[in-house]
Amino acid sequence: MQRRTFLTLGAATAALAACGESVWAPDEAVRAARFVSDAPPSVTLLTVIGIPRGEGAHSGLMINGSQRVIYDPAGSWQHPHIPERNDVLYGITDNFKAFYLDYHARETYWVAEDSIPVTREIADAMIRSAEAQGAGSQGFCARDTATVLRRVPGFEGAPSTLAPLKLRNWFLSLPGVTSRRHMDGDPANNHDVLLRQHGQLTRAGNVAVN
């Protein structure tokens, strides 16, 4: 996945660093975007998987605690109403979650959504771990996601790996994980999906789920 290059909602000037491109949305944007879900606290591993060969293409986390965020290391999805701080995306309503999934699921990729229930304290610790990780570099999404996981009790066994599928296989071994598969027939070039989403604030893309 190519690194996003814009500044969300007037974020501070981005600067290239050894660990990746730093993006820092202002406090008021993060506060305004905050979304609290009614769903129970959880940690969700999102894995983008190629079609038809089944190769792992991207890893990220959706964390539902005192707010719901997506940790998207070196990811390419963005929306003008979603502030970012170094790969942590804030304000993940159900609509924006669907946008994220719709963007990644297309004729050449599907998205695995693997979730495990946790306490609110663990979920918030995972958010803090993601916030502390800093901007990721392209090609290291699985490694950075595993690092975020390992810092939180119950997830210390996450493997240090560059392979999204290896990370997913470990996550699936945890007790209580439930899985969903997201598929979409959008063209392989998802640039038009991103442009379409920027014009939509209330209507999510059509994503088949099973």
Residue 207 within a domain: no
Among the listed ranges 99-103, 166-170, 181-185, 201-205, which one has the minimum average pLDDT value? 201-205
64: phi then psi, degrees, rounded to nearest 5 = -115, 100
Element (H, E) at 146: helix 141-150
Residue 100 within a domain: yes
- β-pairing, 178-183 vs 68-71, is unpaired
Q: Are 46 and 62 spatial neighbours (Cβ–Cβ below 8 Å)? A: yes
- Residue 86 has a pLDDT of 97
- Banded pLDDT at 11 (limits 50, 70, 90): very low
Residue 41 within a domain: yes
pTM: 0.85
Residue 122 within a domain: yes
Beta strands across the sheet bearing 178-183:
12-17, 20-24, 84-85, 88-90, 68-71, 56-64, 42-50, 109-117, 178-183, 208-209
Residue 1 within a domain: no
Longest distance between any two alpha carbons in the chain, whole Å:
44
Q: Residue 208's closest CA among 114, 101, 115? A: 101
14-62 tens-digit pLDDT = 323 334 678 999 999 999 999 999 999 999 999 999 999 999 999 999 9
49: phi then psi, degrees, rounded to nearest 5 = -125, 135
Residue 63 within a domain: yes
How far apart CA 73 and CA 135 sit, in angstroms, is 7
Neighbouring residues of 35: CB distance < 8 A, sequence distance ≥ 6: 67, 68, 90, 91, 92, 93
56: left (phi over 0), alpha (psi -120 to 50) or beta: beta
77-127 tens-digit pLDDT = 999 999 999 999 999 999 999 999 999 999 999 999 999 999 999 999 999
Query: SS3 for 79-99, per residue?
Result: CCCCCEECCEEECCCHHHHHH
- Residue 20 has a pLDDT of 62
Domain count of the fold of the chain: 1
The whole domain housing 153 covers 8-199
Residue 79 within a domain: yes
Q: How many residues does the chain have?
A: 210
Residue 60 within a domain: yes
